Amino acid sequence: MAKEKRSLFEWLTGGTAADGDYSFEDLESGGSSYTPKTPAKGAKHLNIEVEDSPSDITEEEPDGELAVDVYQTPTHIIIKAMIAGVRPEDLDVSITRDMVTLRGKRERHTEGTAGDFFFQELYWGSFSRTIVLPQEVEIEEAEATEKHGLLTIKLPKLDKGRQAKLKIKSN
């Protein structure tokens, strides 16, 4: 009984022959001569077509990520972010009980071209940041202030231990 020649993959892994293995010649040529054989019993074969130049996809510039400080006091969660150069109408702050999302756009107001700059480190364009809060907050009592380009959001913590007496009305 003659011993069947194993492929390089079989030799490296110690495995046995499978219907779809590459031969050593296929590996040397980059697999270009590989043609799939009949799928093994129970296997499914998928035909996938890839379009070379998709026409419907438009590349959008990704949003920058806003740098924030988030800390807590005994009664509040505080979020601070530098938003200098952002007009109030270009800033959107969305709050849920457990998450805050800041979105905005900083418009470029500089003169000159790219060749005129010695340093160009400031971020211009759209930005967004979603912060998952460590504790639920009272959305109705949240406050936001801006001073000298620093946005401060004060979020009162939800007091789950707070109790209220409910009066019962009778007819």
Q: What is the pLDDT of residues 69-122, one digit of tens each?
A: 999 999 999 999 998 888 888 899 999 999 999 999 887 766 666 677 787 777
35 in the same domain as 80: no
Alpha carbon distances (Å) from 26 to 20, 45, 88: 12, 21, 62
Question: 135 lies in a domain?
Answer: yes
User: Tokens in use for 126?
Assistant: 């759209």
* pLDDT at residue 69, rounded to an integer: 95
* pLDDT at residue 163, rounded to an integer: 72
Question: 72 lies in a domain?
Answer: yes
Q: How many domains does the structure of the chain reveal?
A: 2
**HSE, side-chain direction, 13 A CA sphere, residue 44:** 3
Predicted confidence (pLDDT) at residue 50 exceeds the cutoff of 50: no
* pLDDT at residue 33, rounded to an integer: 47
Rg of the Cα trace of the chain? 31
What global pTM score does this model have? 0.57
Q: Which domain holds residue 97?
A: 64-109+123-156
90 in the same domain as 150: yes
Burial (CB count within 10 angstroms: exposed 0-12, middle 13-18, buried 19+), residue 81: buried
